[in-house]
Amino acid sequence: MLICAYTHIPTQSDSGEMNMFNGKVILVTGGTGSFGKKFVSTVMERYKPAKLIVFSRDELKQFEMQQVYNDIKGDPIRYFLGDIRDKDRLYRAFEGVDIIVHAAALKQVPALEYNPFEAVQTNIIGAQNIISAAIDKKVKKVIVLSTDKAVAPANLYGATKLCMEKLFISANSYAGSHVTRFSAVRYGNVVGSRGSVIPLFLKQKENGKFTVTDKRMTRFWITLDEGVKLVLNGLKLMKGGEIFIPKIPSAKMIDICTAISPECKIDIIGIRPGEKLHETLIPEDEARNTYDGGDYYIVYSPTMPPANGNSRKKRVPEGFIYSSDRNDQWLSPSDIQNIITKEKINMNV
């Protein structure tokens, strides 16, 4: 049995990280989403920010979050309604902000294939708006959430996330002598996030049949806790221009079905447009600029070599590829059962 190896990440015991987040003004876009809520709860539990701003366009979800934190004395959380497509609103929201975590995105693949320019407006133009506003408002650190779908994208969602990654890494040059620095994190499927397959399978279990597109399919898996830890660690380590990638396990879709209900029938329906058999977090071409950080990898831009300190990390071997079917870490059905049990509260099932 294998438990995800990505666990040794500095937390509240690391005084450098504590000093970094305490007393700071932190803003998270998409703050009412699955990641955003977990990020807010983690920061509230471990640190003492001067202010924690939840930026999103859904007033109902903001209201629901307020019910959770409203009775905490000295609550530093603020709720800012707005859309990352609206640059003027971002300029107002970023006033006095030290750190931005950009988690807002449109990500439902079928919807974005049918409404392609909506994806461009949010995932690409919205990203450029954040970059410009952050630089002009002298935000010190900005980190963006990306996905394995951005590597050799097979659908519009992945293509927009790839473009977003490129914009954020190049933004370090665009910023020039300004203080703002930009980096990214890139990871796989999040267990129990909205729209993910595990909540879908849990619902299908009631009907006694799972719909699987291909029995060979594999995916990278990460929990919300691990995603938040990756972001916090990335903020601590970043110098600007890095993409941080966790070492996380893969799982076979068939094993997920077995973990949820071995008695259920599996209906193979065929791969959908824009879907891959396997996902890749680091392709061979990008591996030439990739270093092994122990529990994570760091991909550097060819135009931005490793900063002092990071240059001492070991470069990955020539021909290295980090894909879900070539992984040396795998989740068994029993591992998946344990994760589902632990994450059930996050999945709202």
Q: Is 306 exposed, middle or buried (0-12, 13-18, 19+ CB in 10 A)?
A: middle
Name the amino acid, one letter, at 251.
Answer: A
Give the integer Cα–Cα distance in Å for 236 and 18.
10
Cβ-contact 245, 185 below 8 angstroms: yes
Query: CA-based angle 81:86:88, to the nearest 5?
Result: 90
Give me the catalytic one of 37, 149, 229, 252.
149
CB atoms within 10 A of CB 250: 22
Q: Which residues contact 166 (CB under 8 A, 6 or more apart)?
A: none
Examine the residue annotation and report whether 149 is marked as an active-site residue of this protein.
yes
Rounded to 10 deg, the angle between the 156-174 and 126-136 helix axes is 20
Query: How many Cα neighbours within 13 Å face the side chain of 27?
Result: 28
Give the integer Cα–Cα distance in Å for 236 and 310.
13
Q: 262, 180, 189, 256: which is closest to 219 by C-alpha?
A: 189
Give the integer Cα–Cα distance in Å for 334 and 220.
17
The residues carrying an active-site annotation are 149
